[in-house]
Structure 1
Amino acid sequence: MERVAVRAGTGRAVLYRRWPGKADLAVAAIRHHIETNPLPIPDTGSLRGDLIALLRAMTRRRGELAAMIGTQLGVLFAEVRTSPAELRELALGGRRPSSRRVYDRAAERGELDLDRVPRHVLDMPFDLLRHDMLMTFDTVPDERITAVVDDLFLPLIAHYSGDRTTGSTPPAGERPDS
């Protein structure tokens, strides 16, 4: 808190009036970062294209956040007595994740049946890439993003929808360098 106060040009007492502890300040900082750096909602015309674009934006913009807080996670979670998932919900402040608009548009185009695909399947590409960012404190390579979408996510969507062409997955070996 002392370093934050010095950087802000104020005293610790002022900080403690607004944020009772370090954890409260950390959550506020994360929320501020998310609110002031919103992810663009892509509209490429396909679930595959939208998801790859959104995941790329997420890893580039949120990768720096993961690196910033990654080194302090143990202290933060001990003080807050919360989990990373609960911290994410606090930071989102009740806003819908960007992925929801991507999935809603894919459903409107007939690429996805939101009633048939379980929530954990929809969360999976984001969960995997969040894991990668937290393990490496870095952005995720584009090849990894494309592999998660093409090799894991779209086949699961096809499985639950009963459609082997869901998401416009290119045949193996014919993936564009997108």
Structure 2
Amino acid sequence: MQSSSSTKTRRRGPELDEAIIEAAWAELAEHGYAGLTMETVATRARTSRSVLARRWNGKALLAIAAIQWQLAKHPLDVPDRGSVRKELLEYLDRLSDLIPFLDVVFSVSLNKAFRETYASPQALRKALNEGRPPDLGVILSRGVARGEIDPAKLIAPIESLLSDLIRHHVLMNRSAPSKRLRANWVDAIFLPLVRTG
């Protein structure tokens, strides 16, 4: 039977990083940011605190890594469906499936200690989106290319409208918007604002 020390030291590189990040996410989901410590993550990942410290300078950066890892596992990019409406609805469907995940992210962003590193939700969003393609932006660009959307109408508040609506709904209700509500957002609010002609 192997000793606990050999179990701790056997993994290296990406395999160890993945174990640490998965452990950090599990701690975040179960105990929130306030309950997240480098020690509990190290214990859960069967490694040492010094190993974590060499990779992440503090638990805020480790939390960001864990959230980014989950985002990578649940991509929001929607294939070309030939219709901006279909693509927007699919995008909102995928985003709605992530509501339990987003609930954890919201709770992290509201933590006072976390805000010492990431002072605002915008700073957190920037950190999480770094290196990731703008999923909604790709859909809108395809809509423009197909002549469905007037690019002159895609001013900043309108371009982010659907993301803002779902973010507000989750923040206020702690639940995903219904499919009917999502369809109303697209058909009655967003598309009339951006259609060509």
Q: Is the 8 A contact 1:34 1:92 kept in 2?
A: no
1:154 paired to 2:179:
no
What is the root-mean-square deviation in Å for CA atoms of aligned residues?
A: 1.9
How do 1:42-81 and structure 2 match up within 5 A? 42-61=79-98, 63-75=99-111, 77-81=114-118
Q: Could you tell me how far apart the structure 2 residues matched to 1:135 and 1:11 are? A: 39
Give a deviation string over 1:34-75, Cα, whole Å, max 9, x none. 1222124143322111111111111213x1221223333322
How do 1:4-83 and structure 2 match up within 5 A? 4-61=41-98, 63-75=99-111, 77-83=114-120
Which structure's residues are more often helix, by fraction?
Answer: 2
Q: Is the 8 A contact 1:23 1:79 kept in 2?
A: no
| Structure 1 stretches of 4+ moved >4 Å | none
**RCO comparison, higher one (Cα < 8 Å, 6+):** 1
Q: Which of the two has higher C-alpha Rg?
A: 2
Identity %: 35
The number of residues matched between the two structures is: 159
Give the match's secondary structure for 1:72. Answer: helix
- Cα offset, 1:145, TM superposition: 0.8
1:173 corresponds to: none
Q: Could you tell me how far apart the structure 2 residues matched to 1:72 and 1:38 are? A: 21
Q: Could you tell me how far apart the structure 2 residues matched to 1:77 and 1:141 are? A: 31
1:122 paired to 2:159:
yes
Q: Could you tell me how far apart the structure 2 residues matched to 1:148 and 1:53 are? A: 13
The TM-score, its normalising length taken from structure 2, stands at 0.73
Any stretches of 5+ residues in structure 1 without a counterpart?
164-178
Amino acid at match of 1:38: P
